[in-house]
């Protein structure tokens, strides 16, 4: 009897395993985002392909790109991630855009908008005959809908502040109004946008991914699912064929693209969280293109030298200091930190040469940047003298909170500071802890690379160091003269004068107040198979507009 029961137990468990096996070998589940009802005009090309590049025709061109998953969807009003933008920008387009030389160009307009003399009214003319991939024509109403949507509280947009100077934005934002007072539709192809005040970078802000234009009806129909799965429709060169929001997105050519013939038939974007796995997949031929972090540059440089391509994003890596901290509130200490670091050596050794030693806070490609003082001075003896002058001849201790990615860099900085008598206590935390501690103002010293969306100083300086903004970055920098220069530069329409104002502000920030300790302008790299042609990167967002495959 007992033996029979034992046999029954074995049978039950075996059946359970077999059942689970059958379940496990079933069809791959569809993510909720994979809306099979999503329609697009690229169905014909979609029919030619299967997942991960399997094709019916040898002429069918597929690019397989490996990148990290941002995980917050493809609606660029809700996502601030450059990895999301790299996908979304292939599907949706803004009125203007930045090419890979970081120059702004016309996309959905007949020309750049006309700007009134006082700099507050922008008049636009849309190109006629531009269609979204659901077959509806782009009109002024879609643009109006897009701009109004970003301010509506229910959208929970993250990037509306770039456009909050549009007249009436505050009322939509607070729920008092449904429509933007400053947005006037003249007819299907003409509209004007009026600002509360002259704001020079506005023309650039509308060229970012945050101002991608959405089709009104389709966006409303998708509701909260816009940007999830295949629920993203635009006028761009590609259409989302499938998207599980977790492992892979497949884009296929928009056969009716208003910008002309599209080179690639398909782009497979495969998500990798582990950078080592991603690069092994590249080595194994599973992907054609991937970014290459600086810390792995040395490992790949020898074997893949001709496949590694460098580019310089519009950012600056700097030491961010909390000026409310008792020790760091002393400008002598801040200057001593700057003098203690040999930036050229740092770039050469720690970064494997992947960077440019800083000569000002502003990135070297941004108007307002200055080379006139050369690389920030390295003088440990002068640093010691400054510390002695402030009563720290016996040394001092500073607590730093950094992210894991900065560990090697800050290990070296710790060494430099130790030479002048500063003990840097490194506390390595994860991104979530770092973000909340910084927002709470509790970080004394940390490292960051602050990237601009485009080559304009306003973004790099104003968003981090203007009094109202610096408090939320654990900086607490308040200098009225500096703030006034930034205010003046925002409303100045003469580009040469603006650059001059930013240069002055930069001098105050990094050479008088030492409120930021700029280290270097980072270099980024991507690695691409030799048959991937025409791929260049201007800033951090990858674009595939001109890429081709020539095998």
Partner 1 sequence: MRKYLLKRIGLAIGIVFAISLITFIILNIIPGDPAALMLGDMASPETIAKLREQMGLDRPLPEQYIAWIFRLITGDLGNSYFQKKPVLELIGYALYYTSRLAICAYAIALIIGITSGVIAAVFQGKAVDRILMTIAIMGISAPAFWVAILLQIYIALNFDIFPVSGANEPIGFVLPSIALGSRYAASIARITRTSMIETMNQDFIKTARAKGLKNYRIILVHALRNALLPIVTVIGSDIGSLLAGAMLTESVFNIPGIGKLLIDAINKRDLPIVQGTVMYIATVCVLIYLIVDILYAVIDPRIKLGEGSSE
Binding of partner 1 by 477 (CB under 8 A)? no
Distance CA 152, CA 172 (A): 6
- Angstrom distance (rounded) from CA 6 to CA 530: 62
For residues 94 and 206, the answer to whether their CB atoms sit within 8 Å is yes
Residue 274 in 3-state DSSP?
A: coil
State the distance between the two ends of the chain, measured CA to CA, in whole angstroms. Answer: 70
Closest approach of partner 1 to the CB of residue 20, in Å: 6
Which residues 187-226 are close enough to bind partner 1 by CB under 8 A? 224-225
Contact 73, 228 (CB under 8 A): yes
Q: Is 10 in the site for partner 1 (CB under 8 A)?
A: yes
CA atoms within 13 A on the CB side of 88: 33
Pairing of strands 62-67, 289-292: parallel
DSSP assignments along 459-495, one per residue = HHHHHHHSHHHHGGGT-----HHHHHHHHHHHH---H
Q: Indicate the residue among 384 and 473 with the shorter CB distance to partner 1.
A: 473
Q: Minimum Å distance from CB 267 to partner 1?
A: 16
Q: Which is nearer to partner 1, 138 or 269 (CB)?
A: 269
Binding residues among 109-148 for partner 1 as defined by CB under 8 A: none
- CB of residue 21 vs partner 1: minimum separation in angstroms? 5
Q: What is the DSSP letter of 33?
A: T
Determine if 14 is a binding residue for partner 1 (CB under 8 A).
yes
Stretch that binds partner 1, among 27-35, 112-120, 164-172, 377-385 (CB under 8 A): 27-35
# residues contacting partner 1 (CB under 8 A): 72
What are the C-alpha distances in Å from 508 to residues 57, 131, 361, 502? 61, 49, 10, 10
Residue choice 437, 488, 500, 548 for contact with partner 1 (CB under 8 A): 437
Is residue 154 involved in binding partner 1 (CB under 8 A)? Answer: no
Strand ordering across the sheet containing 183-187 = 114-115, 121-125, 190-194, 183-187
Pairing of strands 516-522, 422-429: unpaired
Residues 159-188 that bind partner 1 (CB under 8 A): 159, 161
Least distance from partner 1 to the Cβ atom of residue 164, Å: 12
- Of 440, 449, 200, nearest to 320 (Cα)? 449
**Residue 70: CB minimum distance to partner 1, A:** 8
Does 270 interact with partner 1 (rule: CB under 8 A)? yes
As measured in angstroms, the least distance from the Cβ of 255 to partner 1 is 26
Contact region for partner 1 (CB under 8 A) — 103-111, 165-173, 267-275, 524-532? 267-275
Residue 478 near partner 1 by CB under 8 A: no
Q: Kindly tell me the burial class for residue 3, based on how many C-beta atoms sit within 10 Å of its own C-beta (0-12, 13-18, 19 or more).
A: exposed
**Which residue in the set 303, 373, 431, 493 belongs to the binding site for partner 1 (CB under 8 A)?**
431
Mask: binding to partner 1, 51-80, rule CB under 8 A, as x and -?
Answer: xx----------------x-xxx------x
Stretch that binds partner 1, among 98-106, 293-301, 320-328, 463-471 (CB under 8 A): 463-471
Taking the C-alpha atoms of residue 423 and residue 410, their distance in angstroms, rounded to an integer, is: 12
Residue of the chain from 432, 480, 496, 551 that contacts partner 1 (CB under 8 A): 432
Closer to partner 1 by Cβ: residue 188 or 325: 325
Q: Tell me if residue 52 falls in helix, strand or coil.
A: helix
Answer for which of 255, 286, 379, 488 binds partner 1 (CB under 8 A) is 286
Q: Does 404 bind partner 1 (CB under 8 A)?
A: no
Q: Considering the rule CB under 8 A, would residue 28 count as an interface residue with partner 1?
A: yes
12 makes contact with partner 1 (CB under 8 A): yes
Closest distance to partner 1 from the beta carbon of 491 (Å): 21
Residue of 25, 101, 260, 371 that binds partner 1 (CB under 8 A): 25
Compute the distance between CA of residue 289 and CA of residue 103 in angstroms, rounded to an integer.
Answer: 24
Which residue shows structure tokens 């502000």? Answer: 505
Mask of contacts with partner 1, 353-392, x by CB under 8 A?
Answer: ----------------------------------------
Q: State which residue, 430 or 480, has the beta carbon closest to partner 1.
A: 430
To the nearest 10 degrees (0 to 180), the angle between helices 331-340 and 380-389 is 160
201-to-89, 166, 195, 317, 498 alpha-carbon distances in Å = 20, 13, 12, 23, 11
């Amino acid at each position: 009897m007992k033996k029979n029961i034992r046999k029954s137990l074995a049978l039950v468990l075996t059946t359970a395993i077999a059942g689970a096996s059958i379940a496990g070998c079933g069809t791959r589940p569809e993510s909720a985002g994979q809306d099979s009802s999503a329609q697009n005009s690229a169905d014909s090309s979609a029919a030619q392909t299967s997942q991960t590049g399997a094709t019916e025709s040898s002429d069918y061109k597929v690019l397989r790109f490996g990148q990290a998953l941002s995980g917050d969807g493809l609606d660029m009003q809700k996502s601030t991630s450059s990895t999301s933008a790299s996908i979304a920008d292939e599907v949706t387009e803004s009125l203007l855009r930045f090419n890979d030389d970081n120059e702004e160009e016309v996309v959905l307009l007949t020309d750049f908008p006309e700007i009134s003399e006082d700099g507050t009214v922008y008049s636009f003319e849309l190109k006629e005959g531009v269609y979204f991939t659901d077959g509806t024509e782009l009109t002024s109403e879609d643009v109006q809908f897009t701009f109004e949507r970003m301010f509506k509280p229910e959208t929970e947009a993250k990037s509306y502040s770039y456009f909050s100077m549009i007249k009436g934005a505050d009322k939509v934002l607070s729920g008092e109004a449904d429509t933007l007072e400053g947005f006037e539709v003249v007819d299907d192809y003409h509209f004007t946008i009026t600002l509360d005040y002259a704001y020079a970078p506005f023309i650039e802000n509308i060229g970012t991914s945050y101002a991608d234009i959405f089709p009104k009806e389709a966006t409303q129909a998708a509701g909260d699912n816009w940007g999830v799965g295949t629920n993203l429709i635009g006028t761009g060169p590609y259409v989302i064929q499938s998207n599980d929001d977790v492992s892979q997105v497949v884009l296929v050519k928009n056969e009716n693209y208003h910008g002309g013939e599209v080179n690639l038939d398909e782009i497979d974007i495969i998500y990798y969280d582990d950078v080592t796995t991603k690069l092994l997949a590249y080595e194994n031929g599973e992907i054609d293109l991937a970014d290459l972090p600086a810390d792995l540059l040395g490992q790949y440089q020898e074997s893949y030298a001709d496949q590694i391509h460098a580019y310089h994003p519009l950012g600056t890596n700097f030491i961010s200091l909390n000026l409310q901290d008792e020790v760091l509130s002393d400008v002598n200490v801040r200057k001593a930190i700057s003098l203690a670091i040999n930036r050229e050596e740092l770039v050469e050794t720690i970064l494997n040469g992947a960077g440019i030693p800083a000569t000002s806070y502003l990135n070297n490609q941004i108007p307002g940047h200055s080379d006139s003082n050369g690389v920030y001075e390295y003088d440990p003896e002068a640093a010691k003298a400054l510390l002695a002058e402030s009563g720290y001849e016996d040394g001092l201790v500073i607590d730093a909170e950094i992210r894991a990615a900065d560990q090697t860099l800050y290990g070296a900085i710790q060494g430099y500071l130790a030479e002048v008598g500063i003990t840097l206590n490194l506390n390595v935390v994860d991104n979530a802890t770092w973000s909340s501690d910084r927002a709470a103002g509790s970080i004394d010293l940390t490292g960051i690379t602050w990237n601009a969306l485009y080559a304009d100083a306003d973004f790099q300086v104003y968003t981090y160091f203007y009094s109202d903004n610096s408090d939320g970055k654990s900086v607490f920098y308040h200098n009225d003269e500096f703030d006034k220069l930034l205010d003046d530069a925002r409303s100045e329409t003469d580009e040469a004068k603006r650059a001059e104002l930013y240069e002055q502000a930069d001098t105050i920030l990094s050479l008088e107040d030492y409120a930021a300790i700029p280290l270097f302008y980072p270099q980024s790299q991507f690695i691409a198979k030799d048959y991937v042609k025409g791929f260049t990167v201007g800033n951090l967002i990858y674009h595939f507009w001109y890429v081709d495959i020539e095998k």
